Structure 1
């Protein structure tokens, strides 16, 4: 490892949550920017400010199907005394050479079509007879009864003010305006804006590729038959989904048996498609915790600064943790505990911020707030450990869900927050204001 904290910490050092996170964030670096096609850039972070090259809309255009008119020609128009105008033709969206509307004239115009020279407003087709005479008609009837050729005369039954039903040039954004700032995450609306201003590609930091791998000979894949002493592999699914939720492209690797050589070979095979690797299980002190053994010689251990450091953290759940870099490209690897709640809490506290750093985001942490604890009895917490309890948050109050056990997956599924109990607090009374990490 390359940080001073790692070099000076001995094997018996009990790391704080903050020390471990600081070490991770000091090691992980944003990915290098690349140029991507718009749809490939969805979910990525801009590395450049985007300036509008052309105004939107680029010309005055109609917001309705109707007739382009001069204001004076329809002044005072009513059902009793309609204005009768000569229809000189159609103006359709995309028409290159619009008609010129002179005194007493009008052009039938479609939504989005450019306002023709001479016209000052648009009257909706519902305010006219659709070119047939005989009184006003509305909606689909007006359209269905309109003549095939836009010639002849139209009766207009209402007056119109200047610029009525006209979308002004530049009313959305003007040429030279800042469209998007560097650091923006590109979602569908941002992709739409980039396309609207003519950008086919954009320079972004790519979404990080995260490989998730669970370990344990007892793990069975969903839909398979459970044998004696076996459990379903839920961690790899949970962490892969969490990585995608954080913005990554995540690859799930099926559970690897408790064999150091097999695990080492699998990790080395996965390095080619990883910007970050996450393992779960096999990091404590049991006889079959082979992750430590396997990771001690993954990749090129002669590379300066490479290697995985296994630690004990002053937290519950999630005391055993591993972090470092592996291989010649120094791919960051976080080794998480195997208990479902421990691995998920560890992901939220350590892996998610690392993913957000790789993306190039400034704000990498989940939002936090203060809330009143609503519970029937006091919460207890081990001295010297920062505890993270699952809870549900609403309207300034947080309620614990389930107990402190690190195997309680059902309770985790109900939680939308983590209740933080500091290291120096052993009991929290109902009604006490506590810190809350908001999930989702």
Structure 2
């Protein structure tokens, strides 16, 4: 049997990625809802529809600075500005100014024929007023004012509930609370909202060989890049993330550390030790089924880079745990494929997966048969519509490729080569969140 045939036979023994994700994600539920003060709700996902309990604006008000008047008074002498010069030229209207109203005015007032109020934007509208004349359309008089041009009836006026009537759906369940949404809620009189809390994610790197950042790797030592990167990735996904750091390959110490973290975590992410080699202690420790302590199932998935992934629960609280490979590029791809969707489900967010587009491939690429490959790429919009995608470094150089990427080129299990000019799937990585 040839080396290629051996590789394909081995790949056929791996679980398809779609099947694996289906099994894992079906086990998860969104975190219980939480009632939060409006100022704390930003970035969380709404746990239910939100409707306007009060109208916005809450009362009839002036939309601009000017003079609140009755439109009938402005039209009493004919249509201002409508008469040609041969008929005497444009006419103006003079009204008595009976008071000033600011945004803080609260006493109800009423217009009588031939009068108006000087008003500031946001001021309550006098009873009977149905137009606000802009200041620059007048002589800006104080006791009396000459109206030089007449706006249309209703101009410069905002009626109660014009923008948001009572009972209006302000935001649906599952929507992220954004700053403008916070403003809408506040304007409608909402001080608290029920949301799904941001998942608390703990990140642990495992391995005797690991050392902290700040010095280069030496033989027998590997700088821990993973826990830093995965903590940042979890924050980018909307979680409250905490980096625990490095845990040695001590079985009892590892199990104790993880159980301690169940008190503060909604999800634990580990990196390293997912394989079957002599140093892969994490897999041997967490795969052990101890009553009341949870267990993690490790699966060889048809995924490139990285095939060994783990998912299960730890501790009496059965906190979910995601176990990712130790190679940094594979760990970050594993996060995108598995850990990020888990975070989205816990947060009650939709959609669970990154958005994807079809793109025109600019360069021929090869891919390992039997594996679904996620390769770093740069995506650009084409003039006239559509996208192009430029593959970046993959394979053993995936980490450096990811640092430049704004997308992930997805090559299916049956693809061994994709020609330049062909159409491929690309996941869009939004780094701006």
Is TM (by shorter chain) over 0.5?
yes
- 1:333 partnered with 2:333: no
**Structure 2 residue aligned with 1:251, among 242, 262, 273?**
242
1:220-254 deviations in whole A, cap 9, x for unaligned? Answer: 444x3346344443222222222222222211222
- 1:384 partnered with 2:373: no
Q: CA deviation at 1:98?
A: 3.0
What does residue 42 of structure 1 align with?
Answer: 42
What does residue 232 of structure 2 align with?
Answer: 241
What does residue 432 of structure 1 align with?
Answer: 422
Q: How many pairs are equivalent?
A: 403
Moved more, 54-63 or 283-292: 283-292
Q: CA deviation at 1:62?
A: 0.9
What does residue 369 of structure 1 align with?
Answer: 357
| Secondary structure, counterpart of 1:272 in structure 2 | coil
- 1:277 partnered with 2:243: no
What does residue 261 of structure 1 align with?
Answer: 252
What is the Cα-based RMSD across aligned positions, in Å?
2.3
What does residue 68 of structure 1 align with?
Answer: 68
What does residue 208 of structure 1 align with?
Answer: 199
Q: CA deviation at 1:302?
A: 0.4
Matches of 2:167 and 2:309, distance apart in 1: 50
When normalised by structure 1's length, the TM-score is 0.85
Matches of 1:161 and 1:49, distance apart in 2: 38
Q: CA deviation at 1:81?
A: 5.5
- 1:90 partnered with 2:78: no
Matches of 2:228 and 2:54, distance apart in 1: 46
- 1:301 partnered with 2:290: yes
5+ residue gaps, structure 2: 1-11, 82-88, 382-386
Taking a change above 3 Å as real, the CA distance of residues 218 and 128 of structure 1, as seen in their structure-2 partners, is: farther
| Secondary structure, counterpart of 1:14 in structure 2 | coil
| Secondary structure, counterpart of 1:356 in structure 2 | helix
What does residue 113 of structure 1 align with?
Answer: 123
| Secondary structure, counterpart of 2:164 in structure 1 | coil
Q: CA deviation at 1:398?
A: 1.4
User: Would the aligned equivalents of 2:217 and 2:223 in 1 still touch at CA under 8 Å?
Assistant: no
What does residue 104 of structure 1 align with?
Answer: 114
Q: CA deviation at 1:52?
A: 1.8
| Secondary structure, counterpart of 2:262 in structure 1 | helix
Matches of 2:394 and 2:27, distance apart in 1: 34
Matches of 2:170 and 2:355, distance apart in 1: 27
5+ residue gaps, structure 1: 1-11, 132-150
What does residue 15 of structure 2 align with?
Answer: 15
Taking a change above 3 Å as real, the CA distance of residues 227 and 397 of structure 1, as seen in their structure-2 partners, is: closer
Matches of 1:314 and 1:272, distance apart in 2: 34
Matches of 1:326 and 1:43, distance apart in 2: 28
Q: CA deviation at 1:195?
A: 1.4
| Secondary structure, counterpart of 1:425 in structure 2 | coil
| Secondary structure, counterpart of 2:99 in structure 1 | strand
User: Would the aligned equivalents of 1:283 and 1:322 in 2 still touch at CA under 8 Å?
Assistant: yes
Q: CA deviation at 1:157?
A: 2.4
Matches of 1:424 and 1:432, distance apart in 2: 15
1:320-357 deviations in whole A, cap 9, x for unaligned? Answer: 21111111111111100011211111111111111111
Matches of 1:415 and 1:227, distance apart in 2: 25
What does residue 179 of structure 1 align with?
Answer: 170
Moved more, 317-326 or 379-388: 379-388
What does residue 28 of structure 1 align with?
Answer: 28
What does residue 127 of structure 1 align with?
Answer: 137
When normalised by structure 2's length, the TM-score is 0.86
What does residue 341 of structure 2 align with?
Answer: 353
1:354-400 deviations in whole A, cap 9, x for unaligned? Answer: 1111122342111222222211xx32222222222111122322110
User: Would the aligned equivalents of 1:373 and 1:432 in 2 still touch at CA under 8 Å?
Assistant: yes
Matches of 2:147 and 2:114, distance apart in 1: 12
Matches of 1:404 and 1:13, distance apart in 2: 21
Q: CA deviation at 1:296?
A: 4.5
Equivalence map 1:400-419=2 (5 Å): 400-405=391-396, 407-419=397-409
